[in-house]
Chains A and B, each alone.
Chain A
Amino acid sequence: DQQVKQNSPSLSVQEGRISILNCDYTNSMFDYFLWYKKYPAEGPTFLISISSIKDKNEDGRFTVFLNKSAKHLSLHIVPSQPGDSAVYFCAASATQGAQKLVFGQGTRLTINP
């Protein structure tokens, strides 16, 4: 049972436009959500996070939106740059306890010049 789902395996966006990556979850116990970025042959690196008490968190070009009623979150990248081309993973945790992360399958984002 996939508790965190990223239904788009890939996304292609023109440089300078907005990239929107989506993530859905099923477990109501999740109260903290993170986005990680991964380049080939490297480990994932933390990008941005949001607590369930908020509906939006912004950091520079990156904004994460959380819709708890729909159990949906999205990552917006504006403007998109070639260096943003990577695989993006959505992850969720229930912060009580060991803070284990449950990951989505990932979305490969390609930014075209």
Chain B
Amino acid sequence: NAGVTQTPKFRVLKTGQSMTLLCAQDMNHEYMYWYRQDPGMGLRLIHYSVGEGTTAKGEVPDGYNVSRLKKQNFLLGLESAAPSQTSVYFCASNTGDANGEQFFGPGTRLTVL
């Protein structure tokens, strides 16, 4: 099993450009999550999904959109990138069972100039 994979690993955007980050998991997990990590702030939840076709807002959803068209994939979109979105983005998944740990991908480092 590859676990949780993220594409791309690195990306540099100019302000106003758009992009999509792809997360894929091969563990048949129901729940998936997108976090961002900024220095000194830990990880903050952007959006999450509790099943195929469902999405919900997390703590810091502004400027992002998500889609979960297939159970194994969770896409994070930036329609018009801003320098404040420079961050490291992590995707995670879990089974949805009570007290289940979340499994994280390796991250995507995004820089917006």
| Interface residues in chain A, defined as those with a beta carbon under 8 Å from any beta carbon in chain B | 4, 6, 9, 32, 34, 36, 41-46, 49, 51, 89, 91, 95, 98-106
Q: How far, in Å, is B87 (CB) from chain A's closest CB?
A: 14
Q: How far, in Å, is A69 (CB) from chain B's closest CB?
A: 22
Within 8 A of A (CB), among B23-63: 31, 33, 35, 40-45, 48, 50, 56, 58-59
CA distance A9 to B42 in the complex (A): 11
Let me know if A89 and B42 touch, CB within 8 A. Answer: yes
| Interface residues in chain B, defined as those with a beta carbon under 8 Å from any beta carbon in chain A | 4, 31, 33, 35, 40-45, 48, 50, 56, 58-59, 90, 92, 94, 96, 98-107
Let me know if A106 and B58 touch, CB within 8 A. Answer: no
Q: Which of A45, A89, A103 has the most CB of B within 10 A?
A: A103
Let me know if A46 and B102 touch, CB within 8 A. Answer: yes
CA distance A91 to B59 in the complex (A): 14
Let me know if B45 and A101 touch, CB within 8 A. Answer: yes
Q: Please name the residue on chain A nearest to B90 by beta carbon.
A: A43
